[in-house]
Amino acid sequence: MDNEMLPPWLQYPDIPLGSIGWRMGPGEDYWYRFVDWFGSLSESEREQYRERYPKPEDWAMFWPYVPEKLEAYVGKNA
């Protein structure tokens, strides 16, 4: 994986899932860049990434949410 990005919970550990911090400022910028980057991975690379970075309990809805957003976000945030 080229230019691997940290998952949002590691990049901004003080911003909980669902916080307005993901919809404003640096959290929002990172969120959109992350979704674009993750969307560029193959299914195999996505699975490897999910295994390498297990989500914390309070981020349980993250991986189910991301594929839903890929079609809406990928390539529209550059």
pLDDT in tens, 13-62: 999 988 999 899 999 999 889 988 988 899 999 999 999 999 899 888 78
| Assigned domain for 26 exists | yes
The contacts found for 45-53 with CB under 8 angstroms, 24 or more apart, are: 45/1, 48/1, 49/1, 49/4, 53/6, 53/7, 53/10
What is the C-alpha to C-alpha distance for residues 47 and 51, in angstroms, rounded to an integer? 6
Residue range 6-10: mean pLDDT, rounded: 96
How confident is the model over 56-67, as pLDDT tens digits?
998 887 877 776
Report the pLDDT value the prediction gives residue 39, as an integer from 0 to 100. Answer: 85
Q: Is the residue at 12 inside a domain?
A: no
Q: Domain range for residue 58?
A: 18-73
Let me know if residue 22 belongs to a domain.
Answer: yes
Closest CA to 3 of 38, 52, 47: 38
Structural domain total, the chain: 1
What is the spatial distance between Cα 21 and Cα 14, in angstroms, rounded to a whole number?
9
